[in-house]
Amino acid sequence: MKSTEEYLQELKKWLADTADSPLEEMADFFTKRLYDYEEHMSIWENSYQIFAESLPANCRKILDLGCGTGLELDRIWRRDPGIEVTGVDLCQNMLHKLQEKHGDKNLVTICQDYFQYDFGHEAWDAVVSFESLHHFLPEKKQKLYQKVYNSLKDGGVFLLGDYIACCDEEEALLRGVYLEKRQEQGIAAERYVHFDIPLTLDHETELMKNAGFAIEKVLEEPDGATIIVAKR
C-alpha cells in the first residue's frame, strides 16, 4: 500500500501533467465515456457489493442521487428485486442504459440536477449515492444533506459511497486547482463540471452531522471507496 506521501506525489504529478486540460461539463463528460463507463467503474466491484449489503433489509423505497447506469442498483436489486427506486442523474444517455438493464424493475428515472430536484418530505426509506458527490463544494453539499435528511422517513438511512480525501492537504490541493481552473475558463457558478474535490472523512461526516444525521458506520474499502451509513 502506498504511503500518504507517495500518493500525494503521484497526485501532484498528475495535476501537473493535466494542467492544460480544460474542465468538461458534467453531462458531456459522462456521455462521451458511456460505452466504457461500466468497465472503468468495475474497480469498485467489492465496494458495490458491500454498499448493497449495508442497506437495511426493510428498505422498500429508495432515492438514488447520481445513479448513472445503476451499478450500485445492480447489486441492490440482486439482493431484493422488489425495491422501488427513483434514480436522478444529469446524463440522459446513462439513464437510458439503466432503463435498458432494469426496465422490468419498479424504477423511475429523472434527468435533472439533484440539487434542484424536489426530494419530498419523509418520502424515502433510504437515499443512496455512489461516487457522485465528490464533485461538489461543501457549501452545496451541506444544503443537499439537509434536504436528504428532511426527505427521509423517521429512522431512514443515507448511504454514501464516495471518494474521500486522504488528508487536509489533498482536500485543499484539489479544491485550489478546481477553483483556479473554473476562474481561468470563466465557468459560471451554476455550471457543473467534472473534477474531483473530495473532502476528508472528518469534514464529510461533519456535514452529515450538521444536517442532523447520526453516523452509524464507516467502512473504508481497499479499492478506494469509503462507505458511510448515516441515520435520521
For residues 79 and 51, give the distance between their C-alpha atoms in angstroms, rounded to a whole number.
11
Residues sharing a CB contact under 8 Å with residue 70, sequence separation 6 or more, in sequence order? 64, 87, 97, 98, 101, 102
**Among 110, 117, 223, which residue's Cα sits nearest to residue 163?**
223
For residues 66 and 132, give the distance between their C-alpha atoms in angstroms, rounded to a whole number.
6
For residues 192 and 49, give the distance between their C-alpha atoms in angstroms, rounded to a whole number.
29
For residues 172 and 178, give the distance between their C-alpha atoms in angstroms, rounded to a whole number.
10
- What local confidence, expressed as pLDDT, does residue 1 receive? 65
Look-up of cell digits 459560471: 188
Angstrom CA distances, 203 to 76, 144, 178, 200, 210, stand at 28, 15, 18, 5, 10
Other Cβ atoms less than 10 A from the Cβ of 24: the count is: 15
Other Cβ atoms less than 10 A from the Cβ of 175: the count is: 18
- What local confidence, expressed as pLDDT, does residue 161 receive? 97
Domains and CATH numbers, the chain: 4-231 (3.40.50.150)
Whether the CA torsion 33, 38, 44, 49 is positive or negative: it is positive
The per-residue pLDDT string of the chain (232 residues; one tens digit each, 9 = 90 and over) reads 679 999 999 999 999 999 999 999 998 988 888 888 888 788 888 999 999 999 999 999 999 999 999 999 999 999 999 999 999 999 999 999 999 999 899 999 999 999 999 999 999 999 999 999 999 999 999 999 999 999 999 999 999 999 999 999 999 999 999 999 999 999 998 899 999 999 999 999 999 999 999 999 999 987 889 999 999 9
